[in-house]
Structure 1
C-alpha cells in the first residue's frame, strides 16, 4: 500500500477540482466524519456513509469555494493509513486522518479543521 501515492492523488484531484478523481480515492462504503457535514446537512454526528453522500458533500464544497486549493504541510503515516495536514487557500488548516482498505481506498476518514469551514 503506497500511502504517499494515495495522499498525492488526493491532493492533485482536489487542486484540479476533479470530483470524479477525488471520489476515486475513496471506498464505495466510506465512513466520513467532519464538522462540515454538521453545518451543511444538519447531521449532529457529522457522519456520511458511502460515495453517493460524499459526492454531494464534496460537490457543494467545490461550489462554495471556487478558488479552493490545498497545500501539504505534513504527511504522517502508520500501518494502513495516514494523517495529512494541509493548508487551504483561505489560510485554514485541515487534518484528514485516513484509514485505507485492502484495495488502497479511503475507508474511514476523520477531517479536522483549525477554523470553521462552510
Structure 2
C-alpha cells in the first residue's frame, strides 16, 4: 500500500463518517471484517470488544451514531504499511483516536480503534 492510497482512503473515510450514511461507511469493509474497539463494550455490553462480520459492524456503528448524533471526525494524519494504514483523527469532543485498518482485495478485513484518555461523547 502506498501513502497516496492511504491518504485518499482516509479522506473518503472522513467524509463517509461525517455524512452518517451507514451504507457509505460500510462500503469500504469486507463481509468477513473483524473490528475491535473499547467502544464495542460501551455500546453493546460485549466485554470482548470485538465484532465479527459486516452485519455486526453495522449494528455496532448504528448504535454509536444514534448515541452520538453530533459525531464528527477530522483526520489529522495517515500512515501506510504493507497492507494496512493508520488514521490519526480527532473526534467531536477533541479526543485523539487511532484507527488501524488492514486490507484484503481492496476492502478492510480487520481493524481496531485505539483511544487515549477521552473515549467519546
- Note the C-alpha offset of 1:38: 1.3
Per the TM alignment, residue 17 of structure 1 is displaced from its structure 2 partner at its CA by 1.1
The count of residues paired between Structure 1 and Structure 2 equals 117
Give structure 2 stretches of 5+ with no counterpart: none
Q: TM-score, normalization: structure 1? A: 0.92
1:50 aligned residue: 53
Q: Are 2:67 and 1:64 equivalent residues in the alignment?
A: yes
Q: Does 1:106 align with 2:101?
A: no
Match of 1:73 in 2: 76
Partners of 1:100 and 1:4 in 2: CA distance: 14
Gaps of 5+ in 1: none
| Partner Cα separation in structure 2 for residue 57 and residue 36 of structure 1 | 9
Assess if the C-alpha contact under 8 Å between 2:43 and 2:64 holds in 1: no
Q: Distance in 2 between matches of 1:73 and 1:5?
A: 13
- 1:50-104 CA-to-partner distances (Å, cap 9, x unmatched) read 11001011111111111111111110111111110100121111110010112x1
Query: Matches of 2:120 and 2:70 in 1, distance apart?
Result: 14
Q: CA RMSD in A?
A: 1.3
Query: What TM-score results when the alignment is normalised by the length of structure 2?
Result: 0.89
